[in-house]
Structure 1
Amino acid sequence: MPLTDVKIRQAKAADKPLKLADSHGLYLEVKPNGSKFWRYRYKIAGKENLFAIGEYPTVGLSDARKARDDARDLVKDGQHPSHIRQTERARNIVGNTNTFKAITQEWVEKQRAKWSPYYLGQVERFMENDVYPHIGRLPIRSVTAANILTILNCVSDRGAETVALNLRQWCSAVFRYAVVTLRADSDPAAALRGAVIRPPINHSKPMSREEIGEFVLKVRGYGGNRTTTIAVRILLLTFVRTVEMRKAEWTEINLDESEWRIPSEKMKMRRPHIVPLSRQVVALLRELQRITGAGRWLFPNNRRPDDVMSATTVNRALEYMGYASGAVTGHDFRATASTQLHEMGFRPDVIERQLAHAEQNKVKAAYNHAEYLPERRELMQRWADWVGQIEAELVKEAASAE
């Protein structure tokens, strides 16, 4: 006769284990110490086996019967329930080890040598802040497109659509890596392509001659830290990327040769770059050398001498000069120099090389970081002279008006 809950609760322990039969091989074993365990007896290939279902009352009567029915289905297919459970347990252990965060960190290590420090920092920072709190501890096989969409929506809602787009691409790359290493079956982030609308791109615009004139006068009248003033002037006259200027080291500068050699790991395109220095820039650097030349960095951080000037330092200086946040950027100087140098008649290849833009031919790119160097020296001096001429004319006009 099948068991009932009342009969199970009333079952008393004896000197020897007591077996209370239910049905279809299920029974409750009552130990001498009073513990009660569910067992399922079955046969495969004529051999009797036992499957331990669980302890009562943690596993109730109805749950024990369901577990028995599931086990019976496996037995009918010739499978041992205990073997299947061991396999599932092992899979869960592996799944808990292969969390999304663990695999992402493994993927990042594989890419580290290919990325610039800045890009690496971006990936690690946004993953840590926006992704790991949601899905970092989940086994990667259990992460769904819905999980990722929630993350993307949260990031987009704070106005960071570009970050959300990057996160989708990075998550997709992590899943593809997990697939090829046999730890995931698909890439759920791929289905979310188009879920975030890319914001309008704010392309850098060339500054007019009048705008450059207004800018140099504002820099001239800036009463802030002299090191910051020199940084802004060098940014204008060399049109390097802001991060390349901020991380410049004195060992990269050769004032006697009028040359600045930026190593590949500091460049966006991961190639070494030569910046010929105009007479105006050399003069600025000699002045700067008297201020910061005893240290490693051209532009050290005022609060943390072992670190470099922060990006906000230049931005705050520009705001103090009267420019709204983002109204003038280093990319505007690059666009302005490119436009003006084309008008001066310099060859496009020379201009592109000095801008350190990507070389489509990667084999050629490995050997031509010094290509067109004589023309590039002339180019950099002509650019500095052009800016200097504008400033001199405006200063002269201002003096005449007094």
Structure 2
Amino acid sequence: MALTDLKIRNAKPTDKQQKLFDERGLYLLVTPAGGKWWRLKYRFGGKEKSLSMGVFPDVTLKQARERRDAARKLLANGVDPGIERKVQRAGAAERAANSFESVAREWFAKQAPGWAATHADKIMGRLEKDAFPWLGGRPIAEITAPEVLAVLRRVEARGALDTAHRVHQNCGQVFRYAIATGRAERDVSADLRGALPAARHTHFPSVTQPSEVAGLLRALDAFQGTFVVQCALRLAPLLFVRPGELRTAQWSQFDLDKAQWRYTVSKTKTEHLVPLASQVVAILRELHALTGQRTYVFPGRDVKKPMSGAAVNAALRRMGFDTKTEITGHGFRAMARTILHEHLRFPGEVIEHQLAHKVPDALGAAYNRTKFIDDRVRMMQAWADCLDKLKAGAHIIPIRGGTDPALN
């Protein structure tokens, strides 16, 4: 007799497996543990075989019969349904391995060790948010240029044109990796050059007029947040390193007796030396009493990790500064570059080396961490002294042709 839902639900497990037969080879296997598995009994090539049809109640009696009928059609056409299932699964596994997301994550895993953590997070964040939902499951070799353009248009439509260009760039990198690994024949994103409007790049907002610096510095000193963040705010203009390099600074990189900080530049992966002004050393010695036993100079809530990347900008906003139009943690670099060159008259190449920028010289050396080191030591102390005097109400009076301005 054919099975019914009631009979299936009332079937109780025993100490042995039970087979409850339906029709045309379909039966329900009831295990001693209480599991109920659909099976199809059939013959192919003179051999008796069994094919799984799913688990009850996830697969209902009606669905199991539909699967049985589909399998018997294959048999009628001379196809073993068990072999056909293996072929389909292998094809699905291959398509999954060659999907855009799989290739992208493989490419990312190869490249990420050479990137700064913040840079890597931004790339994967863009892919996960703007590309994977629409392209992730598609075989990369089958993706067309219009599909990629549709992804970019969605990003552009929300007003993030610069991000759209970066997604375009990242997609191109993934396609080129797929070509190199034999999973695609061409980079279809290359067909989209010029499809997006040119992005307008803006600089990080910064305070670059000496007359405005005093108020900013006094506001930093008056910050009422945690002592760790307060120290980070006081040091940011004095050191003018990249925000990620400041917040991830480790005590092992500092020699306070020699007034030096050595670390690896996040962008160029080169060693960098920051001479520490006496004011900086004083702040660090005070902070060392609190965090000196930790790895990071500025630990976060989880003391095993550095301070949040958003902490400095969040503190600036708490003090009333607009981080979109006035100042950001990165803006202290522009502040130092502008005032050191235009008002304190330090040579541009000395400033650029201290900023850890690549500045090719006549001998072709792109960067040397100790080049101009005597000038940089003097410059960093002069900069700290200048900020102290500005904070106290002095005014810069540039002396043309010199590097020692007067302040009154």
Fold shared, TM-score > 0.5 on shorter chain: yes
Q: For 1:282 and 1:92, how far apart are their aligned partners in 2?
A: 61
Unaligned runs of 5+ in 2: 1-44, 47-68, 78-86, 395-408
Unaligned runs of 5+ in 1: 1-30, 33-53, 65-86, 395-402
Shift of 1:180: 2.8
Shift of 1:378: 0.4
Shift of 1:201: 2.2
Q: Secondary structure at the match of 2:365?
A: helix
The aligned counterpart of 1:309 is: 307
Q: For 2:252 and 2:260, how far apart are their aligned partners in 1?
A: 11
The structure with the largest helix share of the pair is 1
The aligned counterpart of 1:10 is: none
Contact 2:350 2:372 in 1 (8 A): yes
Shift of 1:300: 0.8
Pairing of 1:2-401 with structure 2 (within 5 A): 94-204=94-204, 205=206, 207-264=208-265, 267-301=266-300, 303-326=301-324, 327-343=326-342, 344-360=344-360, 364-365=365-366, 368-393=368-393
The aligned counterpart of 2:34 is: none
Q: Secondary structure at the match of 1:200?
A: coil
Deviations 1:351-381 (Å, cap 9, x if unpaired)?
A: 1100111244797246x11211111100100
Q: For 2:177 and 2:213, how far apart are their aligned partners in 1?
A: 48
Shift of 1:179: 1.8
Return the letter of the residue paired with 1:291.
Answer: L
Contact 1:240 1:330 in 2 (8 A): no
Q: For 2:118 and 2:70, how far apart are their aligned partners in 1?
A: 55
Return the letter of the residue paired with 2:373.
Answer: L
What is the percentage of aligned positions where both structures have the same residue?
35
Shift of 1:296: 0.9
Deviations 1:50-102 (Å, cap 9, x if unpaired)?
A: xxxx989969xxxx9xxxxxxxxxxxxxxxxxxxxxx9998876444311112
Shift of 1:118: 1.9
Q: Secondary structure at the match of 2:304?
A: coil
Q: For 1:346 and 1:334, how far apart are their aligned partners in 2?
A: 15
Q: Secondary structure at the match of 1:202?
A: coil
Return the letter of the residue paired with 2:334.
Answer: A
Contact 1:207 1:332 in 2 (8 A): no
Flag the 1:346–1:90 CA change in 2: closer, same or farther, 3 A. same
Contact 2:168 2:189 in 1 (8 A): yes
Q: Secondary structure at the match of 1:183?
A: coil
The aligned counterpart of 2:81 is: none
Q: Secondary structure at the match of 1:311?
A: coil
Contact 2:312 2:329 in 1 (8 A): no
Q: For 1:129 and 1:189, how far apart are their aligned partners in 2?
A: 18
Return the letter of the residue paired with 1:277.
Answer: L
Q: Secondary structure at the match of 2:320?
A: coil
Contact 1:206 1:339 in 2 (8 A): no
Greater alpha carbon shift after TM alignment, 131-140 vs 201-210: 201-210
Q: Secondary structure at the match of 1:106?
A: helix
Contact 2:349 2:359 in 1 (8 A): no
Q: For 1:181 and 1:360, how far apart are their aligned partners in 2?
A: 35
Return the letter of the residue paired with 1:281.
Answer: V
Deviations 1:201-236 (Å, cap 9, x if unpaired)?
A: 222455211110110121222222222121111111
Shift of 1:313: 1.6
Q: For 2:115 and 2:138, how far apart are their aligned partners in 1?
A: 27
Shift of 1:175: 0.9
Shift of 1:332: 2.4
Shift of 1:109: 2.8
TM value normalised by structure 2: 0.70
Flag the 1:369–1:209 CA change in 2: closer, same or farther, 3 A. same
Contact 1:95 1:141 in 2 (8 A): no
RMSD over equivalenced CA pairs, Å: 3.2
Shift of 1:390: 0.8
Greater alpha carbon shift after TM alignment, 320-329 vs 106-115: 106-115
Contact 2:165 2:199 in 1 (8 A): no
Greater alpha carbon shift after TM alignment, 141-150 vs 195-204: 195-204
Shift of 1:119: 1.4
State the aligned residue count: 318
Q: Secondary structure at the match of 1:262?
A: strand
Flag the 1:93–1:350 CA change in 2: closer, same or farther, 3 A. same
